[in-house]
Structure 1
Amino acid sequence: MAFEPDYGETLVSDEEAEALTPAAREILGDPIRKADLYDLEQQIQAEVADEWWGNLLNWNVPVRDLLVDHFVRDLHRRLYAPVWEWGGRQRSLETNIGIAPELIAVEMRNALDNLSYQWDHQTGIKARTLGIAAHAALVHVHPFVDGNGRVTRLLADLVFLAAQTGLEPLLAYDWEVDRRTYIRLLGEYDETRDATSLVHFIPVVSIEDWTTE
């Protein structure tokens, strides 16, 4: 999902800069370009993702251990706390997307518990569906100030991989899709709570092909 051509040269606003951690501001220097900020976030995400991919490929981590709110909060903290003061913190204000802040904790837990139950009790949900359904459900809740899409896509990747234990070849989601269609399908999920269209839209590739690109 590409950004606008001039995105990277844009400077971070004063409001955004105030939300950065002192360590991030020192790394990024002055003035702070969005391209440099994005690169820093991507570097941290790659490190966290690589660690968890290694965990999942080398140990049999149960899916249920990933589909818990504490794991998602910790994943968000690890992705964003080195850069943003709000990293790992639950949203406390109303926004034009997501549910009311006072409902976040319960709805987040219920959504993840429901998916974990479906998987553990072999209700017919497939590995490919499970990860996307977790992503869509949490984007609907919108639990964090920012970074909801990125952290829930990573969660989807990890859940999908964990759910494929014992299968070959291992598959991964390919998130390089048309952004407008992706957002529209997330909106449809908000109305229907059915992730089927989104599952069909997000392609999958073999991990071997994906990691050697």
Structure 2
Amino acid sequence: MTADRLGGDEDGQTPVDADDAQYLNPAYASIATRAELNDAEADNITDALLWLGDQVLSTADLLCQSFVRELHQRMFGEVWSWAGQTRRRETTIGVAPAQIPERLQILLGDTAYWVEHGTYSESEISIRFHHLLVSIHPFVNGNGRHARLAAGALADTLGLGPGHLSWGARGGLPVAEARRQYLAALRQADRGDYTALLEIAAN
């Protein structure tokens, strides 16, 4: 499947894998290269951002499985037939498919608890939510991009504003370096240390 990226730093002329292409919606079946796919996905995600900006969401609205799935559908549904559907096969990252609904519900419940009891700062709640959502890896693809957008929406409902989490964009780093730092910070968060991910996400 397509790289779950912060930006389009891969070779745009690389052909789309035939195994992936079978899941393109009919309107996008003619896509042949990674660059064309990147553009199509970017347009779809822009539409999702516009939709999200029109919503009036509470934290409770966001912390439910129907919203998690709908956001993914809005981000990728124009391009991919699997958008919004939890994955049905094992992957190198993430929990077993049969565990996805339960693990998602645990994460949503834990996040609601953190918010209600002020367990962490609003920024850290959003970052922990993002990291654990990525760790579950509920969808076939787009999990990182989906989790970043969901975490940004959560931060907004917690009063931090829609642009609080920039994922390094304000730091002016080249895309490849920003991605390297982001992935390293995720690995550090896997060990329970969120320091680097907090620093990257809010800069």
The TM-score with structure 1 as length reference comes to 0.80
Report the CA distance between 1:13 and its aligned residue. 1.7
The aligned counterpart of 1:208 is none
Structure 2 contact 152–163 (Cα < 8 Å) conserved: no
1:147 aligns with 2:158: no
- Equivalent residue for 2:164, pick from 161, 167, 172: 172
Whole-Å separation in 2 of the counterparts to 1:183 and 1:174: 15
The aligned counterpart of 1:128 is 123
The aligned counterpart of 1:62 is 58
Relative distance call for 1:34 and 1:141 in structure 2 (3 A) is: same
Q: Give aligned-pair identity as a percent.
A: 32
Matched length: 190
- Superposition map of 1:70-85 within 5 A: 70-85=66-81
The aligned counterpart of 1:207 is none
Report the CA distance between 1:124 and its aligned residue. 4.1
Whole-Å separation in 1 of the counterparts to 2:51 and 2:150: 13
Q: Given residue 184 of structure 2, which amino acid in structure 1 is its aligned partner?
A: R
Structure 2 contact 156–162 (Cα < 8 Å) conserved: yes
Relative distance call for 1:24 and 1:186 in structure 2 (3 A) is: same
Report the CA distance between 1:170 and its aligned residue. 6.5
- Equivalent residue for 1:101, pick from 97, 101, 108: 97
The TM-score with structure 2 as length reference comes to 0.84
Structure 1 contact 53–158 (Cα < 8 Å) conserved: no
Report the CA distance between 1:23 and its aligned residue. 2.0
Higher Rg of the two aligned structures: 1
Look up the SS of the partner of 1:92 in the other structure.
Answer: coil
Deviations 1:27-56, CA, capped at 9 Å, x for gaps? xx36x121111111111111111221232x
1:199 aligns with 2:195: no
Q: Given residue 11 of structure 1, which amino acid in structure 2 is its aligned partner?
A: P
Look up the SS of the partner of 2:164 in the other structure.
Answer: strand
- Say what the alpha-carbon RMSD is for the aligned residues: 2.0
Uncovered stretches (5+) of structure 1, i.e. residues with no partner: 205-213
Structure 1 contact 98–142 (Cα < 8 Å) conserved: yes
The farther-off stretch of 112-121 and 152-161 is 112-121
1:12 aligns with 2:16: yes
Deviations 1:5-28, CA, capped at 9 Å, x for gaps? 6x2122212112111111222xxx
